Structure 1
Amino acid sequence: MQQSAVCFLLTTTLFACGPAPDQFGKLDLKKWRSDRGGCNGIRATLLPDFKAEIHNLKGKTANTIGELLGRPDINQIADRNQKFYVYFLEKGSHCDKPGTKSNSRSVAIRMSAIGLATEVTFQNGLP
């Protein structure tokens, strides 16, 4: 009995540590992650596919969002232990001078205090 539980945990752990997926519904995650900061214009072309999957992003953990979409371009701390993962959708001043304020189109995913995605918004710059 104990041996089967250990085998199950080992198998689950091995599969959980696999490579990040390349597809999330219609969204090509490999292309999304390759366009850091939206500086190459690839994310803008993927926007319709991203919007089609918004409802599937809500409720995912911060770790899962990071695995799917890659490290956020900006990780912004908000009130009440919430945070935003911000991904730029187009080239802007942040591409030429990292760390500078940018008004480029972006998408922000709000993470709750318990680390779950609760809201996805689109804006120019930061939320």
Structure 2
Amino acid sequence: MGKRFITTVQLLGLLLLGACGTPENLQSFDSKVWKDDRNGCESQRAGLLDDFEKIRKELYGKKEYVLRNVLGKPDSEELMERNQRIYFYYIEPGTQCNSRNQMSEANRLQVRINALGKVSEISYYRPVETGKPE
């Protein structure tokens, strides 16, 4: 009985570790470049917007940890009522590059996380022209 319990716990642990990765349909997006361009100050994120649009719909309904695996830690965050949050990812340089503790008027991606910890809305502060996803 003890051996079987340990084997079951080990198997469950492996399944949980595998669940923490990035889903295969989101791996085509260059997350490393996005994450390395903190606050959009190096203008790298703007060049990834067409690629982002291809995976945007796939992010809806995904858990917060999946979003963080793809886009990294948000540049800024706002806590809303009923335990909802909005994550902000800047896509162009602005005053946030000099003063990181204030919101900037620079364009940014806004991702709403609902009370269940899932992505419920993705929008831009100012809509941008992107290519149509394939």
**TM exceeding 0.5:** yes
Q: Which AA in structure 2 matches 1:6?
A: V
Percent identity, aligned pairs only, is 33
Out of 87-96 and 59-68, give the one that drifted further: 59-68
Identify the residue that residue 30 of structure 1 maps to in structure 2: 32
Q: 1:83 to 1:17 in 2, by over 3 A?
A: closer
| Aligned counterparts, 1:95-114, within 5 A | 95-114=97-116
Q: Which AA in structure 1 matches 2:110?
A: A
TM (normalized to structure 1)? 0.84
Specify which structure has the bigger relative contact order, considering alpha-carbon pairs within 8 angstroms and separated by 6 or more residues.
Answer: 2
Q: 1:100 to 1:11 in 2, by over 3 A?
A: closer
How many aligned residue pairs are there?
A: 122
Moved segments of 4+, more than 6 Å:
none
Per-residue deviation, 1:66: 1.5
Gaps of 5+ in 2: 127-134
Identify the residue that residue 11 of structure 2 maps to in structure 1: 8
- Any idea what SS the aligned residue of 1:80 has? helix
Identify the residue that residue 48 of structure 1 maps to in structure 2: 50
Structure 1 distance, partners of 2:113, 2:84, is 6
- Any idea what SS the aligned residue of 2:11 has? helix
Identify the residue that residue 39 of structure 1 maps to in structure 2: 41
Identify the residue that residue 75 of structure 2 maps to in structure 1: 73
Structure 1 distance, partners of 2:58, 2:20, is 21
Structure 1 distance, partners of 2:82, 2:63, is 17
Per-residue deviation, 1:14: 4.5
Match of 1:116 among 108, 115, 118: 118
